[in-house]
Structure 1
């Protein structure tokens, strides 16, 4: 699919954390100035706030003003679309259902359109669904297929599922039909994407999207301010570097995002991964 090696964009999940002042941002950096500084260090970021509420057009215009040409701001679809519930438990009766999802989808896409060429992939991050939510994969895929078909083709889309049993060809067939990327996620209760790729063709679009999320409980046992690395993830980062190096031959672009919960400090994690890939996967 790709001609030459893919460009790899490196960034973090969100650009704010209370422990980043002095450890990533220069001391005294105002919150309003953080994104502009962030964009001098990385060429992409994943907006986390959009999961909780669709941004306004004014907010998205501000993001565009604060970032340079060539920057890519990825974002999550609102929780109301992919989760549906008011509490921790998802409400499957509302997930991807047009009458519930439509207003949130319209507001979200209208805002993200303000970014123009700076708009990165838009992520449908689904929670883990138990049998009471979806008894089997089929009904979920029917909704996903219809939802993706109705989305405008002017954006790029990525889909993350957190049910191990759903990482099957039936899912990737739907994604491939709509040129949506399968999110390659490193999460404590899911197999590493390199292992998934041994059994499943994980390339479903011209680009790939990877998220290093990790183990929230393990990291928060050491820190909740995220000012430093608290878990040694060097072995997993080496595996990621090898996997991404091979993946670069199959797509034209890869976006990789490190969460603070992966090792304790997202910027340090993604810088280390970038260095390993640039060394050829070492």
Structure 2
């Protein structure tokens, strides 16, 4: 998947993505990608190294389900090239609860599990809530008050994946902004798309990939996302965009990400 203008690295190429626009997929251990995104016969232990040289970011789902060890995060850091970034989905034990105000212990356990080992490859932390979770201003603010601003010497950025339509209101956006949290913009038929124009960080999860389209999204749709990402970063020097192709026709996600990287180049 080397492209014209790409910068050579020992294990492949670093795509020529604009430095404040990162494009990736969810995870990397997915059997249908073997022989397509991953070269035939590539050992599974080399899949992260390969993926990180075709993309600029990966959203990790494993951290949602279980607590990993510091050595795991350190290994990811060592396997990936300079400039690569991981977004980590935070523990479900923090977000999948009736009363969010009681989440202090699982939040601390997740943040203290060794994520700081990623160093400058630690990207936003994604806090994903159940689709049935409604916006309760008091309880949600109590949750936001529990989110730490740093781990060790590293500042943290928090992204909220709220998936109930009750969050599509100004009261929620004002609350998230007060605690310097960004709201996910979701492109999916089953979840609301909540724009957050005042945030400096845009975090997009694109979930409409079609198996009938080789690149998941049609070329004109990819071009539109590229134009939107460029326009976002043009609005200020601190503005960043993370774009992840998630779910939908997951087998098409790497091709969709590669197509967007080409469009941005």
Q: What is the TM-score with the length of structure 2 in the denominator?
A: 0.80
Cα deviation, 1:39-92, whole Å, max 9, x if unaligned, reads 1111211111111112211111111111122111111001111113xxxxxxx1
Output the CA distance in 1 between the equivalents of 2:115 and 2:215: 34
Q: Does 1:34 align with 2:47?
A: yes
Q: Which has the higher helix share?
A: 1
Displacement after TM superposition at 1:262 (Å): 4.7
Q: Higher relative contact order at CA 8 Å, sep ≥6: structure 1 or structure 2?
A: 1
Please, which runs of 5 or more residues in structure 1 have no aligned partner? 85-91, 223-227
Q: Does 1:97 align with 2:102?
A: yes
- Rate the CA distance shift 1:21–1:161 in 2: closer, same or farther, 3 A: same
Output the CA distance in 2 between the equivalents of 1:248 and 1:64: 26
Displacement after TM superposition at 1:13 (Å): 0.9
Output the CA distance in 1 between the equivalents of 2:82 and 2:217: 35
Counterpart residue number, 1:225? none
Counterpart residue number, 2:66? 53
Q: What is the TM-score with the length of structure 1 in the denominator?
A: 0.76
Q: How does 1:78-227 map to 2 (within 5 A)?
A: 78-84=91-97, 92-93=98-99, 95-98=100-103, 101-129=104-132, 134=134, 136-148=135-147, 150-152=148-150, 154-191=155-192, 193=193, 196-197=194-195, 201-204=196-199, 206-214=200-208
Counterpart residue number, 2:248? 261
Please, which runs of 5 or more residues in structure 2 have no aligned partner? 1-17
Displacement after TM superposition at 1:233 (Å): 4.2
Aligned-residue Cα RMSD (Å) equals 2.7
Output the CA distance in 2 between the equivalents of 1:31 and 1:61: 18
Q: Does 1:276 align with 2:263?
A: yes
Cα deviation, 1:245-281, whole Å, max 9, x if unaligned, reads 3222235221111124256411111122233344xxx
Aligned length: 243
The answer to whether the 8 A contact 1:232-1:263 is kept is no
Q: Secondary structure of the residue that 1:254 maps to in structure 2?
A: strand
